[in-house]
Amino acid sequence: MKLSAALLCALVAVQAAVLLAAAPSAQAGELQVGYYGKKCKGLENVVKWHVIRALKANRRTGAALIRLLFHDCFVRGCDGSVLLDASYDNPHPEKEAPVNIGLAAFDLLEEIKAAVEDRCPGVVSCSDLLIYAARDASSILSNGHVHFDVPAGRLDGFVSKAEEAQAELPDSADDVQKLIANFARKNFTVEELVILSGAHSIGQGHCSSFAGRLSEPADQITPAYRELLKYKCPQGSNPPVDNNVRDEDYDVVARYMPGFTSRVRKIPDFLDNSYYHNNLAKIVTFHSDWTLLTHKEAFGHVKEYAENGTLWDEDFADSLVKLSKLPMPAGSKGEIRKKCSVINHRLY
């Protein structure tokens, strides 16, 4: 018996509706520390083993994991939507948004997911694995000073749209008032904006993300640092550049900022309060970092965390926990993906 195209489309639509109706919903209130204690014993040790191995091979991967946590949770809540590849259902996913340039560590998360599926098939979400991995990266990069227990029980979302990421994520060229308004929409305070910005003590940004800084005046960026950035960003190219000048090549720093060479770090990507010292000295990469100095409350917190690294360690951990609790949009459905880059079933 031959079915008409219209009937086939109707049957597919019905199947998609049934799948979505059967899919559970996840509420932030359901998250629990130790959620997988009986469901998948030893899960956190599995994640940590893979993260430690990855960071031994390439320490930059740790910064990539922490960035992924923020870029996932700030859009549609912590649902693993940033991990999805382009597909029929999501032709232009979040990872394609310009604001998401340079996102990495996707392969590591797939590696962790495969190991966890072998151990506990169909139990642990990719969104939870990302939080665990970013937590472990934070701890390793801070020499254990940043650590927190992970409330878990998230589901993986079905939707990933580049235009949503572009609209919701803060831009590196934003002024302070726009940043404050953006974070307030997610129920974050001015202080928490300053705290989370401290993650720019690690990682890299592309030249296109701070192009405006190359022509900003001396009261916004130290001229010697501006010249260093110009050297790192030759016209017509868009390479990644260290967020923290302390992680720059020693010879480059000696050429442009000879008085700063004693602070160049032998080990890059150390998660600490150096971002706040750099900001006060106007040697930060992004306009969105410098602009914090133009707001009275934000400026006060920049000074506070420059003076008290231990306080920042504790507050950064607390802010990551709060970030990890951002819920999926009301009424959203979720699943436990088999692979982090694809949903289990086509929806349409």
272 among the known binding-site residues?
yes
CB under 8 Å to 271, separation ≥6 — which residues? 62, 66, 138, 141, 142, 145, 146, 199, 201, 202
How many CA atoms within 13 Å lie on the side-chain side of 189?
Answer: 10
Q: What DSSP character marks residue 342?
A: B
157 is in an annotated binding site: no
Q: Which residues pair with 206 in a beta bridge?
A: 240
Assign residue 73 a region (left: φ > 0; alpha: ψ between -120 and 50; beta: otherwise): alpha
- Does the annotation list 247 as a binding residue? no
Nearest to 76 by CA among 104, 102, 97, 101: 97
Q: Which tokens hold the place of 54?
A: 């990855």
d(CA 69, CA 134) in angstroms, rounded, equals 6
User: Is 102 known as a binding-site position?
Assistant: no
Distance CA 131, CA 128 (A): 5
Could you give the residue numbers annotated as active site? 71
Give CA–CA dist 210/206, Å, rounded. 7
Residues with Cβ within 8 Å of residue 64, at least 6 apart in sequence: 103, 104, 105, 203
Strands 204-206 and 151-152 come out as unpaired
CA distance 252 to 242: 12
Residue 200 annotated in ligand binding = yes
**CB-side exposure of 231: number of CA atoms within 13 Å?**
15
Pairing between β-strand 240-242 and β-strand 204-206 as defined by DSSP bridges: antiparallel
Q: Is 79 annotated as a binding residue?
A: yes
Q: Give me the residues paired with residue 191 across strands.
A: none
Is 75 labeled as ligand-binding? yes
123 is in an annotated binding site: no
What span, in angstroms and rounded, lies between the C-alpha atoms of 42 and 120?
Answer: 10
Annotated binding site: 72, 75, 77, 79, 81, 94, 170, 200, 249, 272
